[in-house]
Amino acid sequence: MSDAEFRSGFVCFVGRPNTGKSTLTNAMVGQKIAITSSRPQTTRHTIRGIVHREHAQLILVDTPGLHRPRTLLGQRLNDLVRDTYSEVDVIALCIPADEKIGPGDRWILTQIRQMAPKTTLLGVVTKIDKVGRDQVAQQLVAVSELLGPEADVVPVSAAKGEQVEVLVDVIASKMPEGPAFYPDGELTDEPEETLMAELIREAALEGVRDELPHSLAVVIEEVLPREGYEGQDDSSSEMLDVHALLYVERPSQKAIVIGKGGARLKEVGTNARKQIEHILGTRIYLHLHVKVAKDWQRDPKQLGKLGF
């Protein structure tokens, strides 16, 4: 392929909660940058993953899921999605191979068609490792009928890495010709603080049933290089002290996050620290504090303070 045919552009994965969007983002980029969780609306920020290939550069825009908003936060998240949909080159609707197409999928499709009628639409059948070939074939036909004859449909398993490169090629073929937007080797343009906050939030939501999802916000207060730190090994001569605040809405939720004798918060810190060190390539020490901000999701002042 000649240089003239290099293609670059923006793509957005959409779909119901838990349809494999973030896992797919991470598989295509080759590193964990989007948080993966089985809960709706765990993604709060437009994290862009950057996929570098010889013939193309794809910028993956990860949006919060579209939903019927019940709070001011919900409304703001939906506005964020609307803006994103109209600005990307390709929207890929993700539908798992192991679940029937339902009203949720149809609702999302209707929203996309209303918000971004001119944007190229693509179908992605995810989690094909979970079912047999016949079921994958049936789902491909069903998704094809849902989207119409002009839309391509690609089956993938992000967890197993199957067909991921095929999907990259199909998306690339739909991008406009043009130069790369980002230098080679850059994986996201998201500020490090935002990534840290997302990873701490993911660790805090892990294993807590339904008590917390939307009630938890994480703010990175400060990141300071530790003075006089000399690494014990050659891997890193630097250590960062990261101070983070976890905001919940009620004292009962604070107790859940902290756990008995602080055990749960300690576990959250350990898990988040590993992920953050992996991404930053440097040693960090996490200082986590939990605060109650009453009903912050419904309070415009609090929302602004927490970055929404």
Same domain for 20 and 150: yes
In angstroms, the CA 195 to CA 201 distance is 10
In angstroms, the CA 269 to CA 282 distance is 16
- DSSP letters, 18-43, are TSSHHHHHHHHHTS--S---SSTT--
| Residue 205, domain CATH | 3.30.300.20
179-183, 196-200, 207-211: least confidently modelled range: 207-211
- Which residues are paired to 163 by β-bridges? none
Same domain for 202 and 160: no
Specify the 3-state DSSP secondary structure of 63: coil
pLDDT > 70 fraction of the chain, expressed in percent and rounded: 77
Same domain for 200 and 158: no
Query: Is 233 annotated among the ligand-binding residues?
Result: no
77-81, 90-94, 226-230, 290-294: least confidently modelled range: 77-81
181 lies in a domain?
Answer: no
Q: What is the pTM of this model?
A: 0.59
Query: Is 171 annotated among the ligand-binding residues?
Result: no
Same domain for 68 and 16: yes
Same domain for 215 and 159: no
107 lies in a domain?
Answer: yes
Query: Is 21 annotated among the ligand-binding residues?
Result: yes
- Which residues are paired to 188 by β-bridges? 49
Query: Is 15 annotated among the ligand-binding residues?
Result: yes
In angstroms, the CA 241 to CA 220 distance is 11
Among 173, 202, 224, the domain-final residue is 173
Among 113, 144, 173, the domain-final residue is 173
Query: Is 78 annotated among the ligand-binding residues?
Result: no
Please state the domain count of the chain. Answer: 2
Same domain for 124 and 30: yes
- The pLDDT, as a whole number, for residue 308 is 63
Give the pLDDT confidence of 52-74 residue by residue, as tens digits: 888 998 988 866 556 566 666 66
Confidence of residue 237 (pLDDT cuts 50, 70, 90): low
- The pLDDT, as a whole number, for residue 205 is 85
184 lies in a domain?
Answer: no
Q: Which residue has the higher pLDDT, 293 or 78?
A: 293
Same domain for 265 and 162: no
Same domain for 93 and 147: yes
Neighbours of 173 (CB within 10 A): 12
Query: Is 62 annotated among the ligand-binding residues?
Result: yes
Same domain for 113 and 13: yes
- The pLDDT, as a whole number, for residue 197 is 86
- The pLDDT, as a whole number, for residue 76 is 65
Same domain for 237 and 148: no
Taken in order 165, 89, 36, 268, the sign of the CA dihedral is positive
Confidence of residue 277 (pLDDT cuts 50, 70, 90): confident
Is beta strand 217-225 parallel, antiparallel or unpaired with respect to 239-248? antiparallel
216 lies in a domain?
Answer: yes
Same domain for 168 and 201: no
178 lies in a domain?
Answer: no
Give the pLDDT confidence of 142-192 residue by residue, as tens digits: 999 999 988 999 999 988 889 999 999 999 999 999 888 777 766 565 667
Same domain for 27 and 149: yes
**Token pair for 49:** 């993953």
| Residue 145, domain CATH | 3.40.50.300
293 lies in a domain?
Answer: yes
Q: Which domain holds residue 25?
A: 3-173
182 lies in a domain?
Answer: no
Query: Is 119 annotated among the ligand-binding residues?
Result: no
Query: Is 123 annotated among the ligand-binding residues?
Result: no
- The pLDDT, as a whole number, for residue 37 is 46
38 lies in a domain?
Answer: yes
- The pLDDT, as a whole number, for residue 83 is 72
Is pLDDT at 42 greater than 90 in this prediction? no
Among 106, 141, 173, the domain-final residue is 173
